[in-house]
Structure 1
Amino acid sequence: MNKEATDFLVELLQTPSPSGMEMEIQKKWMSYVQGFAHEVKTDMAGNVLGILNPNAPFKVLLAGHSDEIAFVVNRIDEKGFIYFDKVGGISQKLAVGMNVTVLGNEKTITGVIGANAEHHGGIKDGFAIEDLFVDCGAVNREEIEKYIQIGDLIVYKREPEWLMNNRLSGRGLDNRTGAFIVAEVLRQLSDRKLSVCVIAASTVNEETNMGGAYFAGAGVQPSMAIACDVTFATDYPSVNRNKYGDIRLDGGPVLAKGAPINIKINRLLEKTAKQLDMNLQYELTPRSTGTDADKIRYTGQGVPVALVSLPLR
């Protein structure tokens, strides 16, 4: 990646975008693609679309969602401690002791997720999310309610970091990387003479209801679509590869195979990968993919879809 693209990816990862609150990241995505797209527009759902060759009758939709999993405030007690619930498939098991940012309407507040100290009994192995709380340092409910209210969203306070071998660690790689990839595909196609219309969509709400994907597909009515998301790598200790497959960080893009996936699109992707001398990996999605591809597929008279995923630990 060039420096401009790398800086853009890091900027996306630094921007809180919990499902239902994607406005700020969408502004940044729009600003980036406006530099090379022939047309940029939004829809009523909050998606942003960058388009090349908009008048071509054959339309290829590339979709990557911009939202991330998070927590949501559901109660503030009389001492100012914040209790919370889940937004998307986030695990409370990783939350203990994590610094968080509470995205209040009036002010953004820093806090830490707490639980009983070890010398006060600790937390049980099977603890639930309601056993945890956010401590922002407030002395009572009245103080914290000046800035925070029920329904405000909470994300981990986590900066992207580069690890060894050019590997990236950060919050919300699922799926700001997908939104980044579809923007980069658009950028690299922008100086070519295209015979088809290419539409890159940064979609919303995938982590909670996939509504963004549905409305993107319904609005565009594409001839075909490729969802770009992440999938679980299995190249770390203790994972059961017999059950979950063999997917490696350096093994190449992952193509989904299963009933929702259009075989012809996969064959075209495989042919292209061979021409580029690019390794591919595979995952099975026999019933559904759990990604934007599922909702796009059901729009209009039906859309042929494929799923290309980035391995993620």
Structure 2
Amino acid sequence: MKASPMSSDYQAPEFLLELLEAKSPSGAETQAQAVFDKYVQPSADVYLKDTIGNRIAILNPESETSALFAGHLDELGLQINYIDENGFLYFKTLGGHDRVVISGRRVLIQTRNGIIKGVTGKRAVHLMDSKEREKVPQIHEMWIDIAAKDRADAQSRVQVGDVATYDHEFAFLNGSVATARAFDNKGGSYIVGETLRRLSKEKDQLQAKIISVGNAQEEVGVRGATISSYNAKPTFAVAVDVGHATDHPDCDKRKFGEFKLGKGPIITRGPNINPIVFKKLIEAAEANGIPYQLEGDPRPTGTDARAIQVAGAGVATGLISLPLRYMHTPSEVVDLQDVEHCIQLLVAFSKSLKAGENGNW
């Protein structure tokens, strides 16, 4: 643990901070992989990598009953797809961006020669007529400015296919509430990795095999989870992602439910969720005094859980979500107390699993 930016009284874990600092757009997760390797591999009995870039850490590999915990390592990003004659870089998006917040941002481009700084641009409001001002620019109407003299200058520094992330770093806002570029889903990958680290010190209390996975490429179609869950063939699984905190203005709770920062993990129920796993999560939370919130989702969720549930012959799957404001923007907001409660819940759930159990109902 170490003191963190803009905080005088709350400590953030170094593991989490390093994940948040890592720049890891979908398909370019190298920096986040290195952090997961550093902190999780030493605690694992078995540690694996695969062709899509997943990181798989295992405790008690010989146990027949198993639980997989999945958090994804990737984040939103931009990918250069065209450089014009004046050296401006055009891009496509990795993951689902809100076009309203793209322009006017500082970005960091990962190139063969290291990080290149740039700024996302569009035509200034002063140069638009009244109708144009009402429109949100299309992706191809924005660009990245690296102050290049011309195309040749830009191409000497940046290649088509290079990826970029917003230059927005971690900071505390008040108490344990913090903001960062990519709590979605560095928060989830930290939670599953830290859960395994803690359980490694209490293996005598475990009857199940524990598999904590930092998945790749969730933001472009839960691709890493499709592979890791198929290969792991777990008995049980819990996906860990972020969920929408609705405790802010302009959010109709009749449509989106009521979820607050600082009130604990969001536990989901619905067709994507195995009822036995749901029941075990609730029992673990209540037996250990862990606060939680309930979400009803009548569809396959927009998380790794939707791939895990139908992997192979099927997996008894649950989902817990970290309450988060302003999802898929450069300044997402969470309460780190909720992060800690998610870890405590997974630890308690793991210890509750008994040899021979399954999710058939």
Tell me what 2:90 maps to: 83
Structure 2 residue 77 is the aligned partner of structure 1 residue 70: yes
Alpha-carbon shift at residue 173 of structure 1 (Å): 0.6
Residues 22-72 of structure 1, C-alpha deviation per residue, up to 9 Å, x if partnerless? Answer: 122112201211232222111222111111111101111000000001111
SS at match of 1:26: helix
Structure 2 residue 117 is the aligned partner of structure 1 residue 124: no
SS at match of 2:103: coil
CA distance in 1, matches of 2:128, 2:168: 28
Structure 2 residue 199 is the aligned partner of structure 1 residue 189: yes
Tell me what 1:108 maps to: 115
CA distance in 1, matches of 2:297, 2:323: 15
SS at match of 1:299: coil
CA distance in 2, matches of 1:294, 1:117: 41
Tell me what 2:161 maps to: 151
Task: Tell me how large the CA RMSD over aligned residues is.
Answer: 1.4
Tell me the amino acid that sits aligned with residue 236 of structure 1.
Answer: H
Tell me what 2:348 maps to: none
Tell me the amino acid that sits aligned with residue 66 of structure 1.
Answer: L
Structure 2 residue 199 is the aligned partner of structure 1 residue 172: no
Structure 2 residue 59 is the aligned partner of structure 1 residue 52: yes
CA distance in 2, matches of 1:27, 1:102: 18
- Does the Cα contact within 8 Å between 1:5 and 1:184 map onto a contact in 2? no
Deviates more, 1:168-177 or 1:103-112: 103-112
Alpha-carbon shift at residue 5 of structure 1 (Å): 6.9
CA distance in 1, matches of 2:178, 2:200: 27
- Does the Cα contact within 8 Å between 1:178 and 1:229 map onto a contact in 2? yes
CA distance in 1, matches of 2:12, 2:65: 28
- Does the Cα contact within 8 Å between 2:125 and 2:133 map onto a contact in 1? no
Residue 20 and residue 36 in structure 1: after superposition, are their counterparts in 2 closer, same or farther (change >3 A)? same
Tell me what 1:247 maps to: 259
Tell me what 2:16 maps to: 9
SS at match of 1:300: coil
1:23 to 30, 42, 46: 30
Tell me the amino acid that sits aligned with residue 217 of structure 2.
Answer: N
1:213 to 225, 231, 241: 225
CA distance in 2, matches of 1:312, 1:27: 25
Deviates more, 1:282-291 or 1:181-190: 282-291
Tell me what 2:286 maps to: 274
Tell me what 1:43 maps to: 50
Alpha-carbon shift at residue 222 of structure 1 (Å): 0.4
- Does the Cα contact within 8 Å between 2:110 and 2:164 map onto a contact in 1? yes
CA distance in 2, matches of 1:108, 1:224: 41
Alpha-carbon shift at residue 238 of structure 1 (Å): 1.4
CA distance in 1, matches of 2:115, 2:16: 23
Tell me the amino acid that sits aligned with residue 264 of structure 1.
Answer: I
Percent identity over the alignment is 36
Residues 170-227 of structure 1, C-alpha deviation per residue, up to 9 Å, x if partnerless? Answer: 1111001100000111111111111110010000000002111011111111011000
Give every structure 1 segment of 4 or more consecutive aligned residues whose post-TM-superposition deviation is greater than 4 Å: 2-5
CA distance in 2, matches of 1:93, 1:84: 16
SS at match of 1:74: strand
Which structure 2 segments of 5+ residues have no match?
3-10, 326-361
SS at match of 2:319: strand
CA distance in 2, matches of 1:257, 1:125: 39
Tell me what 1:231 maps to: 243
Deviates more, 1:28-37 or 1:53-62: 28-37
Q: How many residues align?
A: 312
Residues 94-145 of structure 1, C-alpha deviation per residue, up to 9 Å, x if partnerless? Answer: 1121100111233321011111223322763322222211111111010011
CA distance in 2, matches of 1:259, 1:105: 45
Deviates more, 1:4-13 or 1:169-178: 4-13
CA distance in 1, matches of 2:321, 2:92: 28
Structure 2 residue 130 is the aligned partner of structure 1 residue 136: no
- Does the Cα contact within 8 Å between 1:226 and 1:307 map onto a contact in 2? yes
Tell me the amino acid that sits aligned with residue 299 of structure 1.
Answer: A
Which structure 1 segments of 5+ residues have no match?
none
Tell me the amino acid that sits aligned with residue 259 of structure 2.
Answer: I
CA distance in 2, matches of 1:117, 1:56: 61
- Does the Cα contact within 8 Å between 1:107 and 1:147 map onto a contact in 2? no
Tell me what 2:359 maps to: none
Tell me the amino acid that sits aligned with residue 159 of structure 1.
Answer: E
TM, length-normalised to structure 1:
0.96
Deviates more, 1:192-201 or 1:31-40: 31-40
Tell me what 1:259 maps to: 271
